[in-house]
């Protein structure tokens, strides 16, 4: 009974944060809402086994992915706030950020969410977990593609050149 209640509270919070984007299905925030919902489901499905088998292959893989996810999130937010000069909401940066982790990765925060989703999946992998993590990954890919279109409109050829010299989510991978 507690898990459905927590899911409802988390979903309401995600919806409140995403509300302006939910009215615009062509914005990156619209897609991001569904990725965050998928991650919430993954967390709640795997919360009971959070500390089960921490030294198993799955447990070690999970913790590695979660720690790298944490690094991507912390560093991504730090650099974005410091160099992106957001106007109000973090999504509204006034400068193109190409330093720190952003030098190699265009979307470290989405990369963080992908790593987090797969880290949660590795806690106790099931077919449903893998399908959800795959779905979250696909939705975040779509989110990033929409955001890239928005960034090209905002920053022009500078962003196009940046896309050519950086990876989408994870350095040296994709």
pLDDT in tens, 13-33: 999 988 888 888 888 989 999
Q: State the Cα–Cα distance between residues 123 and 118, nearest whole angstrom.
A: 9
Q: State the Cα–Cα distance between residues 156 and 59, nearest whole angstrom.
A: 44
Q: State the Cα–Cα distance between residues 146 and 41, nearest whole angstrom.
A: 24
pLDDT in tens, 134-173: 999 999 999 999 999 999 999 999 999 999 999 999 887 7
Report pTM: 0.91
For 54, 90, 150, 161, the CA distances from 146, given in Å and listed in that order, are: 37, 17, 6, 17
What is the secondary structure of 54-79 as a DSSP string? TTSHHHHHHHHHHHHHHHHHHHHHHH
Domain ranges of the chain: 2-165
pLDDT in tens, 51-80: 777 788 889 999 999 999 999 999 999 999
pLDDT at site 114? 97
Closest CA to 167 of 141, 131, 149, 132: 141
Number of Cβ within a 10 Å radius of residue 88: 6
Residues whose CB falls within 8 Å of the CB of residue 112, separated by 6 or more in sequence, listed in order: 69, 70, 72, 73, 76
């Amino acid at each position: 009974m507690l898990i459905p209640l927590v899911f409802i509270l988390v979903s309401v919070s995600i919806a409140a944060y995403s509300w302006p984007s939910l009215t615009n299905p062509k914005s990156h925030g619209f897609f991001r809402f569904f990725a965050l919902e998928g991650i919430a489901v993954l967390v709640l499905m795997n919360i009971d086994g959070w500390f089960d088998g921490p030294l198993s292959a799955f447990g070690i893989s999970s913790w590695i992915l979660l720690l790298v996810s944490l690094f991507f999130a912390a560093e991504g937010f730090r650099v974005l706030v410091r160099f992106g000069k957001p106007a109000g909401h973090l999504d509204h940066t006034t400068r193109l950020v190409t330093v720190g982790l952003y030098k190699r990765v265009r979307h470290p925060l989405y990369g963080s969410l992908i790593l987090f989703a797969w880290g949660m999946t590795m806690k106790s992998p099931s077919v449903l977990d893998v399908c959800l993590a795959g779905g979250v990954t696909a939705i975040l890919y779509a989110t990033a593609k929409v955001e890239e279109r928005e960034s090209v409109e905002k920053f022009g050829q500078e962003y196009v050149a940046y896309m050519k010299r950086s990876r989408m989510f994870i350095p040296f991978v994709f």
